[in-house]
Every structure is written in C-alpha cells, then in structure tokens.
Amino acid sequence: MHVAIIGTGYVGLVSGACFADFGHQVTCVDTDADKIAALNQGVVPIHEPGLAELVSANVRAQRLVFSTEFAGSVRRAEAVFIAVGTPSRRGDGHADLSYVYAAARDIAAELRGFTVVVMKSTVPVGTGDEVERIIRAARPDAEFAVVSNPEFLREGAAIRDFKHPDRIVVGSDDARARDVMAAVYRPLYLNAAPILYTGRRTAELIKYAANAFLATKITFINEIADLCERVGADVQDVARGMGLDNRIGGKFLHAGAGYGGSCFPKDTLALIKTGQDHEAPLRIVETVAHVNETRKRAMARKVVSAVGGSLRGKTVAVLGLTFKPNTDDMRDAPSIPLITALHDMGAKVRAYDPIGMEQAKKVLPELTYCEDAYECAKGADALVIVTEWEQFRALDLDRLKEVMTERPAVVDLRNIYPPGDLAQRGFIYESIGRPSRREK
C-alpha cells in the first residue's frame, strides 16, 4: 500500500518507519526543509532507541522516502496520515489546531481517487468534522473519508509500542475507510493487536480520556506520597500494595516530581477546555492539572530542606533533564520549573543528562553543563536526581562523597536508591513519600 505521513516529528517518523517496515510504501512529508534534508542525509533528528537503524534499513530497501512536497505522495496514497503537532494554544490551553488545518488544506489540493485522511495527531472532539468540512469546501469533487486513529506510543519505547500496541482505535462509520485501515494495520494482526472500531468523535475522546486517566493515576500517587511523608509510611509499599490489585494495576503508580512531557500537560489542559466548552466540566482533571503544576516547584523546597534551610550561595547538581529516560525530548520536562525555582532561590545549578543536553541548552541556556555525573557533583551541596536514566541507578557513592561538599545531600525524586544506603554513607538523603533518613 502507498501511505503518506504529513508531519515527520516523533509520531510521524516512528509511524512512517514502522509502516515501511511492515512492507508499505511510505512517504514522510514535513514543511521543515532542514529536517527533511537531514533525514535524506541519514540523520535522524530525535533520540529514540532503534529508530535510526529502522529508518536507514527501510530507506535502503526503498520503502521509506522523505519529502517537503505534498503533491506526489498524497496523490499516490490510499491513506494519508496527519501527524503534525497540536501544542497548547498560548493563553487559554486549548489545542492549537492551526497545523492540522493547514495540513488538511494542503492535502485537499492533491487528493486523487478515494483516499482516507487519517488523524493521528491528538485532537479535540469534533476536529475530524472540521477537517472534513475544510477538505470538502476546497474540493467538492473529492472522494475521501476522515478517520480518527489516535496514537498511544510512549517516547523511549516508541517502536515497540507501535509494533505491539495494546489496541488500535479506528474512529469512522465509513465501511470503505474501515477496509483501508484494516489493510494498513493487517501486519499487526500477527501481533494479536485488537482493532477497536468506534465513531469518530468517540475515538477522539478515547485518546484524551486515556491520557487524563494516566495523569490522574500519577497525581493520585504523588499526593499519597505527600501524605506518606507526614505519617511515616512508605509510598513504594503503598503503591505495590495497591498495584497488585488487578482492578488497579501497578503501572503509573510511581511517585515522583510530577508528570511532564510532550503529551500529558497539554492533553489534560485541552480536555479541560473541551469539558468547559460543552458545559460538562471535568473537575477531577482540573484538579489533577492544578496539583501537578504546583508540585514541580514544590520539589525545589525539598532541596531547600535537604541543605538545611537556604539555597543562597549553594551549588546544586541536577542529574537528568529530559522528561523521562531514553529520549532527548525536553518538552514540558519537570526539570525546567524545578531548575528555575532553584535559581530563583539563589542556587548555582550544574547539570548533566546522558542524551538531552543539546535540547536542554535551547530552553535552559544559563546552566553549567557537565561531562558526567561526577563532574556535575563536584563541589555540590546537593545532588538532585530528576530523570531515572539507567546510568544513575548505581552511582559510585564513595566517589560522589569525595567530590561533593562536606555534608552532601542527595534528593532522589525517582526513589531509585534504598534510603538506608545513602544515609549509612553519610549523605543526607531525601526521596519521595518515604521516611527520610538523615546522617547521624
């Protein structure tokens, strides 16, 4: 099958490479000429495990090409996927749909024969109707159907998630469009991925409801962690005790610094706006977004308490900047408000991230960036673990003790160390939702 993907970012590139790997003939289109030029020279612009290899193998096999031109790719394609960004609109939190609508207009001009226009971007309920209207207005003669097919992949595990999804959601009442979608995803039947056919609006809402629910789970355990700290309980054990209940499940019950990343913050805000617009306010999600927002700066107060009351003139080493491990994505990373708060409180901040520093420099230019964890810790009063990269899980604690100041503090915002270990070696140790162990 011929498939066109409009928007060659995280979702577009992963989807395009995976579809090509299934044997489809794929063109990934983007308006960013530099990105397309880089991809045509074999440079993959994002860090995602396995992606560079998958892209190069499929380019070599001539199943995957990159272009800035809509014409050829859309004309040939039986399915055209829209995978452009839908960031928060400045000022009100609604999803900014300008990229989606621009893509719809460009697609409309090139439609030839029956074509399925597939919305892969996360878009508010009713966007499919508007895209259909835009295309119909531009091309009253065109034969097409607009389908919602939200994407659930996680950055850092994107290829696996795309090839082994828990489910594929296809929102359309058009029988011809459903057949095309079944053909696109046929290779996944082997992986036993169920396809859930729904109405278009329902599919659009499934994506937001799923993300808001996961954000709620994270925020719930974060508040339970705060309570654990007050009452002397251990949130790790509480989460395990909850998660072993199959009705609850153990995933997304890791207390931490608050959710961030390219999806949860903007998707919860957009869903809240949809609820308000339709006079069906989502009060739980509103509270989740508010609690999460305040949490990130509150993490800076943990650092203050670990160093004994004031950060003025103190040096803080931050390990991990990206919003999660195995990606270089800095969008809405919790490290950003945390570091801003540390600066506001008078701290000098040094930082190290295994992969994300080039991206981080664009949003946090004023940091001192270091070569590795130990150089970062040099002369620091406090070391804050923000992102749980594998290489931070077994740090040489004696070496850290040597390079840090006399009464070093470790603030472990991912609970990756057993509290006793660090206290025994003379660190002040703070984590999330566990009894704090201080140096005797």
**Residue 101 makes contact with ligand NAD by CB under 6 A:** no
Identity of the residue, 263 or 370, whose beta carbon is nearer to ligand NAD in the bound complex = 263
Q: Is 263 a catalytic residue?
A: yes
CA 292 to chain centre: 15
- Least distance (Å) between residue 138 CB and ligand NAD: 14
Q: Which of 366, 339, 343, 335 lies closest to 260 in space, CA to CA?
A: 335
**Residue 159 makes contact with ligand NAD by CB under 6 A:** no
Binding ligand NAD (rule: CB under 6 A), the pick from 2, 89, 99, 363 is: 99
Q: Which of 28, 228, 263, 370 is catalytic?
A: 263
The residue whose Cβ lies closest to ligand NAD is 9
- Least distance (Å) between residue 26 CB and ligand NAD: 15
State the Cα–Cα distance between residues 407 and 117, nearest whole angstrom: 60
Identity of the residue, 207 or 296, whose beta carbon is nearer to ligand NAD in the bound complex = 207
**Residue 11 makes contact with ligand NAD by CB under 6 A:** yes
**Residue 118 makes contact with ligand NAD by CB under 6 A:** no
State the Cα–Cα distance between residues 236 and 228, nearest whole angstrom: 10
**Residue 274 makes contact with ligand NAD by CB under 6 A:** no
Under a CB-based contact definition with an 8 Å cutoff, are residues 135 and 111 in contact?
yes
State the Cα–Cα distance between residues 93 and 268, nearest whole angstrom: 9
Binding ligand NAD (rule: CB under 6 A), the pick from 8, 58, 149, 415 is: 8
Beta pairing, strands 2-6 & 144-148? unpaired
State the Cα–Cα distance between residues 158 and 138, nearest whole angstrom: 35
**Residue 86 makes contact with ligand NAD by CB under 6 A:** yes
Binding ligand NAD (rule: CB under 6 A), the pick from 3, 4, 21, 35 is: 35
Binding ligand NAD (rule: CB under 6 A), the pick from 84, 180, 206, 316 is: 84
State the Cα–Cα distance between residues 12 and 121, nearest whole angstrom: 9
As given in the structure block, the two tokens for residue 287 are 């509270």
Burial of 337 (0-12, 13-18, 19+ CB in 10 A): buried
Q: Which of 241, 239, 261, 263 lies closest to 252 in space, CA to CA?
A: 239
Identity of the residue, 93 or 418, whose beta carbon is nearer to ligand NAD in the bound complex = 93
State the angle between helix axes of 200-231 and 264-277 in degrees (0 to 180), rounded to the nearest 10: 120
Identity of the residue, 153 or 285, whose beta carbon is nearer to ligand NAD in the bound complex = 153
* Tokens 């153990």 -> residue: 250
Binding ligand NAD (rule: CB under 6 A), the pick from 1, 32, 183, 210 is: 32
Binding ligand NAD (rule: CB under 6 A), the pick from 5, 29, 404, 413 is: 29
Q: Please list the residues that pair with 350 across neighbouring strands.
A: 317, 368
Our CA angle for 412, 304, 238, nearest 5°, is 40
Identity of the residue, 263 or 349, whose beta carbon is nearer to ligand NAD in the bound complex = 263
- Least distance (Å) between residue 10 CB and ligand NAD: 4
Chain residues binding ligand NAD by CB under 6 A are 6-12, 29-32, 35, 83-86, 99, 102-103, 121-122, 151, 153, 155, 262-263
The set of catalytic residues is 263
